[in-house]
Structure 1
Amino acid sequence: MKKDFDDDLPLSFDPEEQLRMENQLLELKLKAEFGAQTFSGGEVPAEVQNTFLKNVLEFENSYLQSGEIKICDILGNPVLKSEPELEDRELEISLEEVNKLLLAHNITVDFGSSYNNRTKYKFITEELFAESIVHTGVPAMMMHFIYEEFHPDHKTDLFNKAKNFITAWFEKEPDKILWEMGDRIMFPGGTALTKEQIMQKLLITFSSYTGFSECKYVISEINFEISGDAGIACIEGAVSYGASINDQEAIAIQGNFKLYFFLEYGWWDIFYFIFPGFDFP
């Protein structure tokens, strides 16, 4: 039977146009088969887009075809002593060997706080090894695991977020401040501001001063309540800093601050705050 068209014919006889059309087809394929949203165009060269889209398609196909497998199976089911069986020096050596084995299979484990070697070894060999994951087998793809995702340390997490907020304020970095915030921020009266509106307020506030000096802060209280997967928290403390206007003598700004957080999907976001030097509309 004679075909009405040739599948091997190029999409266009113009190489650049052919590459552009191929990218569009790849985007449509990713969206239709995997629901993936891609954004092409701009200043990114078509060749770079093409390579990126093909890599994404390869990953999605590998992910779809891969079944779940335990991490210990990926590692070849190593025979290891349990944590109680090891003396301190033996455990230190075994932990180092286990980490090398994980890294050899492109797996890393991060610990957000300081934990002793026994806690680390016990977690890796008893919990992480038993974890089932979808293993795509894509070369050079690293798998990162965080201890706190298995054992949340909410107090430390909240402390760090408050510290990040305050430090970003002193350094006049609104982008970093917004990183700690939710999509909408409440303010007195019950009205909400979007991140974009808060950004504009911060830019106006920071543009009023040439710089901050003698910056000090203390975090005095961290209170939180967890119910299921949701939670609410309040961090209180005090700050003091000097705000310079046109390189003149700094104006002293000081007072108490409050940061209110909401926990959703394992992430704490600020939804309301009181901070010396910032006035809501």
Structure 2
Amino acid sequence: MIFRPTRKLLTSNKIKPEEIQPNEINTLNEWLISSASTTFKGKTLLIFIHAPSFMTVVVEGKSILKKIPEFETRLIKLLQRSNFPEKLINDFKKNLQPLKFATNTNKSYIGRTVNFVQTVEDFCSTYYDYSELDLDDIENNLFSYLYFVKGNLITAEDWWNNYIHGDDLLSKAVEPKVIKASTINKLGMTAEEELYMENQMLKMDLEHMGGNPIFLNDDEIMPKLPLNVENFVLRNIKYYESKIKDAELVTIYELLGKPKIKKLDEIKSEADLLKQFLHIDGLLKQKQIVVEFFGKYSLEICYSFIVDEIMQKKVPNVIIPNVITDFIYEKFYPNHKFEINNKVDLFIQLAFNPDKEFQVLEEMMQKLDTFIFNNKSVAVDEFLGYLNVYRFTEESSRYMGQSCIEIQLNEDKTQATVWGKIEFKNPVKGRRRVAKDYLIKLKHGKQGWLITRFDCEGLSE
């Protein structure tokens, strides 16, 4: 077995290299060695890279001589889980001894080694704790990692399949492949299975910490988050909960370092107002605080809201990566017409636009016991059933959009009436769009605005 460590590793390990020419090397026994940071203090990996194929074995530690037995063990395990033929595995075993060390003078190998080391370090950066580091998973990923050689993009998986079939080593392997990158990690599970189990454990931990169930990704209606995204969210929630538990509460003004802030009546021009607003907005974002305005308001209103109200709000005196503190203006000053307009637009799109998920409308409507359709009281399921049939029997692709013409609210802002038009493409080519008048009634409660009535010209049971 011939190893070609980097010059730095040869020096730090006090290894004197031999002069070994390429013609003395067979296909199985040449390995490049480099080191990679794990991003965890005091923890380093040795990266063994098979020179021709760039199959990679990863070992913990710094001492090459002490880690050779572990390299040999991990190599055989990698070959076995990647479905290498038994004869080829035995050929590898025969080439494990004797050991020789030489320098690496192949510039293309040096360049590719740097890329592979960077990839290993990138993998390590995705782990939150060193104990979670999964070398099997890293090796599996590198076995199917694309690299560029002599005008071709190939993987170690391609190289070895071509090797056993006697095909061009530097081309994409022909399917079906005998040798395949494994998906099994150190726990004997696929990465997806392990991530699913970890997410369930995180949910249990958070429920124990907060006393409330965690329903993330449990909604049958809404699209599922990818497991890695769900994991990222759950980990950040747990980190946030652990950090704020004992954190001191301070005002946002104090959190920003008590900056000099002008009152609105001290600002004499629109240009200065915009400058001051952007300055404060920038300070807030530096502390991961966002103030949102969903509706359209004057700059004076937005500025006063931040300066006079948000600055006095108390928050934990801690900044947590990837966690945003969000303040929404409409939570303080409800904009009923804005919310009603959005609710009506969503309702009509879900009802008539074939590109929208009808299940979302069903979920939205289940909050009601009864519903009025064209001035007649009907069960919610009955209305949804009729509407669903309409979507299939009518030319649903004709839907062009809707316009909300007028919104009226009662005095205590608990009920609203909306008039508008739904536009459809005219089935007669060259004619104007067909517009149908609609009336929608809504009521306001703890769940916000709910639609309780829908009348539409030209629609009947």
Q: Tell me whether the two structures share a fold, i.e. TM-score over 0.5.
A: yes
Once the 2 structures are TM-superposed, how far is the Cα of residue 81 of structure 1 from its aligned partner?
1.5
Per-residue CA shift, 1:94-121, capped at 9, x if unaligned?
1111111111111222222332222221
2:251 to 70, 92, 103: 70
Paired position in structure 1 for 2:208: 32
| Aligned-partner Cα distance in 2 for 1:165–1:47 | 32
Counterpart for residue 409 of structure 2: 224
Of 368, 379, 401, 1:192 maps to 379
Alpha-carbon deviation of 1:44? Answer: 8.8
Residues in 1 aligned to 2:276 and 2:350: alpha-carbon distance in whole angstroms: 40
Superposed displacement of residue 79, structure 1: 1.8
Residue in 2 aligned with 1:141? Answer: 323
Superposed counterparts of 1:93-112, under 5 Å? 93-112=275-294
- Give 1:83 deviation, angstroms: 0.4
Count of residues in correspondence between the two structures: 262
Q: Is the 8 A contact 1:171 1:212 kept in 2?
A: yes
Written as runs of structure 1 = structure 2, the 5 A alignment for 1:216-255 is: 219-225=404-410, 227=412, 231-242=414-425, 244=427, 255=436
Q: Classify the secondary structure of the residue corresponding to 1:137.
A: coil
SS at match of 1:256: strand
Equivalent position SS for 1:237: strand
Q: Flag structure 2 segments of 5+ consecutive residues without an equivalent.
A: 1-185, 219-223
Q: Distance in 2 between matches of 1:175 and 1:123?
A: 37
d(CA) in 1 for partners of 2:421 and 2:442?
Answer: 17
2:272 is matched with 90
The residue identity in structure 2 corresponding to 1:183 is: K
In structure 2, give the amino acid aligned to 1:224: L
Structure number with higher strand proportion: 1
Letter in structure 2 aligned against 1:236? W
Residue 183 of structure 1 aligns with which residue?
A: 367
Distance 1:65 1:128, change over 3 A: same
CA distance in 2, matches of 1:158, 1:40: 28
Which of 321, 332, 336 is equivalent to 1:150? 332
User: What are the within-5 Å matches in structure 2 for residues 48-63 of structure 1?
Assistant: 53-63=234-244
Picking from 411, 432, 437, the partner of 1:256 is 437
- The 1:73/1:279 distance shift into structure 2, 3 A limit, reads farther
Report if the CA contact (8 A) 2:236-2:323 is conserved: no
Q: Which amino acid aligns with 2:415?
A: I
Structure number, greater radius of gyration: 2
Give the C-alpha shift of residue 265 in structure 1. 3.5
CA contact (8 A) 2:240 2:323 kept: no
What is residue 205 of structure 1 aligned with on the other side? 390
State the distance in 1 between where 2:440 and 2:399 align: 22
Whether contact under 8 Å (1:205, 1:278) holds in the other structure is no
1:275 corresponds to which residue? 456
| 2:187 alignment partner in structure 1 | 15
**Aligned with residue 116 of structure 1, among 294, 298, 308:** 298
| Secondary structure at 1:145 match in 2 | strand
Whole-Å separation in 1 of the counterparts to 2:324 and 2:226: 27
Q: Is the 2:287–2:319 contact (alpha carbons within 8 Å) kept by the matching residues of 1?
A: no
Hey, what's the Cα distance between the residues in 2 that align with 1:55 and 1:268?
32
Give the fraction of aligned pairs with identical amino acids, expressed as a percent: 21
Tell me if the contact between 1:241 and 1:253 (Cα under 8 Å) persists in the aligned partners.
yes
In the TM superposition, residue 202 of structure 1 has moved relative to its aligned partner by 3.3
Q: Which is worse superposed, 94-103 or 212-221?
A: 212-221
Instruction: Verify the 8 A CA contact 1:62 1:136 in the aligned structure 2.
Output: yes
Q: Secondary structure at the match of 1:65?
A: coil
Q: Residue type of the partner of 2:285? A: L
Contact 1:242 1:253 in 2 (8 A): yes
Instruction: Please state how far the C-alpha of 1:159 moved relative to its aligned partner.
Output: 2.8
**If the length of structure 1 is used for normalisation, what is the TM-score?**
0.72
Name the residue aligned to 2:151.
none
Q: State how far apart, in whole Å, the 1-side matches of 2:233 and 2:399 are.
A: 47
Aligned 8 A contact 1:225 1:231 in 2: yes
Give distance in 2, aligned partners of 1:212 and 1:154. Answer: 31
Q: Which whole-Å CA distance do the structure 2 matches of 1:79 and 1:132 have between them? A: 19
| Matched letter for residue 313 of structure 2 | E
Deviation at 1:84, TM superposition (A): 0.4
Amino acid at match of 1:72: Y
Q: Rate the CA distance shift 1:182–1:124 in 2: closer, same or farther, 3 A.
A: farther
Aligned AA for 1:149? Answer: K
Residues 440 and 455, structure 2, Cα contact 8 Å, conserved in 1: yes
Query: 1:232-275, CA deviations, whole angstroms, 9 ceiling, x for partnerless residues?
Result: 2111234453465xx9999x965431111122347322122122
Unaligned runs of 5+ in 1: 1-13
Structure 1 pair 60/166, CA: closer, same or farther in 2 (3 Å)? same
Please tell me whether the aligned partners of residues 260 and 272 of structure 1 are also in contact (alpha carbons under 8 angstroms). yes
Q: Name the SS of the counterpart of 2:312 in structure 1.
A: coil
CA distance in 2, matches of 1:61, 1:259: 46
TM-score, normalised on structure 2? 0.47
